[in-house]
Amino acid sequence: MHPTGQPEARLFDTWIDPIETGVRERVRDWIEALIEAELEAALGRPRYGRAAGDEPAVGTRGYRHGRRSRTLTGTFCPTEIAVPRARLPTQNGGTTEWRSAALRAYQRRTQAADALIASAYLSGTNTRRVRRALAALFGGAVGKDTVSRVWRKVQADWQAWNQRSLADEPIVRLILDGTVVRVRLDNKATSISLLVVIGIREDGQKILLSVKNMGGETTAAWRAVLDDLVARQLRRPAFVIVDGAPGLEQALAAVWEGVPLQRCTVHKLRNLLAHAPKRLYDEITADYTDMIYAATAEEIEERRKAFVKKWRLRHAAVADSLEEAGEALFAFTKLPPSQWKSARTTNAIERLHEEFKRRIKTQTVLPSDATAAMLFWALLASGQITMRKVDGWKTLPQASASQETIDLAA
């Protein structure tokens, strides 16, 4: 037994790959040769190059003046390199320091290394675990502060995404919902709502249109999200799916009056069960499922009347809850039957919320409200989470054209 209780070498420390070792030993020479070639092109002559014979060096482009040492971390491990320095003439007769385009000023990591660090963070771990997971690759040179700085580089892309125009997006359907996350505000763990909007294109592909951090799902909060979409020229959708939050429905009515609205049938079932004793859950669920998943609109309407009649006598609160949703619960029946599966519920966005929660589970509390929204977007933008086309997408343009005809007639 060792005095400290720890083995002399940790697992994987002795896993030495001669290929990796050979490549990393030659990385320094390759990087220095790349930068040297770049400098020679800028100066117009190789190192130690002089004018031929006694001819004066007319039109010289500058001169070298030493080297500086720099440590560069990449997927090839930290490497100490010697970076050549040079002065180039300016138009006003002075000189300026030459800057390499391949190796940016003050660069300490390659972009591939930064992308690897950010991807590891997005895969569902915290900053300290990223450091430990990548220690073997980067030689222990990546600390939690480095992970945080790399992650902040994503902010420029995040801001550009938030300001992009939506005029050319052929959106025909929207799915809107909010999710609650824990963030740190004023050094305290606080719950905030992320309001998320997914758009469905004419080709059936789902895309993320907006994600905003708000204090709750109020009418004012949702109105701010919708106004931002309209300001970025999102066209009026032909169909909207919501979870039944009153604030969201009021905001939609104010922005797009008369837009066809579908209440999520899964959320409504939960509401029905909340109004009944547990002993009736199975019977209510069976009746509700038979109604919602009937084959035709006529059968759905027939079973709807039977449901209300039966539960008006058995448990009136259940019937009242169903009638509260009105026609919005059955708006999907106005669409082609091939689209019913994707139009009945907000499942597409609910699955997105669940995956997001799974990825941030290790962090418990996110560092800020801005980070929460940016992280949600980055998971999709980086391809860590992908969304497939909706069921029945081939009939989406047909349904959209039909809706536009109805609107024009009105």
- 190 and 128 housed in the same domain: no
pLDDT of amino acid 101 = 85
For tokens 């995404």, the residue is 161
Please report, rounded to a whole number, the percentage of residues in the chain having pLDDT higher than 90. Answer: 42
Q: What is the pLDDT of residue 42?
A: 85
Q: Please name which of 143, 136, 132 lies closest in space to residue 108, comparing C-alpha atoms.
A: 143
Contact in structure between 66 and 85 (CB atoms under 8 Å): yes
CA-angle at 120, arms to 118 and 121, nearest 5°: 65
Q: Answer yes or no: is 302 within a domain.
A: yes
The domain of 268 spans 168-401
Residue 337 confidence (pLDDT): 92
Per-residue pLDDT of 382-404, as tens digits, reads: 887 889 899 888 888 665 555 54
The verdict on 152 and 213 lying in the same domain is: no
* Statement: residue 255 has pLDDT above 50: yes
pLDDT score of 381 more than 80:
yes
Regarding whether 71 and 118 lie in a shared domain, the answer is no
pLDDT in tens, 267-287: 999 999 999 999 999 999 999
Pairing of strands 171-185, 188-201: antiparallel
Is 8 contained in some domain?
no
Whether residues 175 and 76 fall in one domain = no
The strand pair at 188-201 and 206-214 is best described as antiparallel
Give the total number of structural domains in the chain.
3
Residue 92 DSSP symbol: T
Same domain, 104 and 115: no
Name the band, by pLDDT with cuts 50, 70 and 90, for residue 77: confident
1 lies in some domain = no
Count CB-CB contacts under 10 A for residue 284: 21
Let me know if residue 364 belongs to a domain: yes
Q: Where is the domain boundary, 163, 198, 229?
A: 163
Does residue 71 lie within any of the structural domains? yes
Evaluate if residue 57 carries a pLDDT over 60.
no
Helix (H) or strand (E) holding 223: helix 219-231
Same domain, 181 and 156: no
- pLDDT tens digits, residue range 15-34? 666 777 777 778 888 888 88
| pLDDT band for position 409 (cuts 50, 70, 90) | very low
Report CA dihedral (125, 126, 127, 130) to the nearest 10 degrees.
-20
Q: How many helices (H) and strands (E) does the chain have?
A: 16, 8
Asked whether residue 195 is assigned to any structural domain, the reply reads: yes
Among 167, 230, 168, smallest CA distance to 197 is for 230
pLDDT confidence bin for 62, thresholds 50/70/90:
confident
Rounded to an integer, the average pLDDT of 300-311 is 96
Look at the chain and count its residues. 410
Residues 133 and 177 both lie in one domain: no
Q: What is the pLDDT of residue 51?
A: 52
Same domain assignment for residues 286 and 360: yes
109 contacts 74 by C-beta, under 8 angstroms: yes
Q: Give the helix/strand (H/E) hosting 298.
A: helix 297-314
pLDDT tens digits along 80-106: 888 888 888 888 888 888 888 888 887
Do 225 and 88 fall within a single domain?
Answer: no
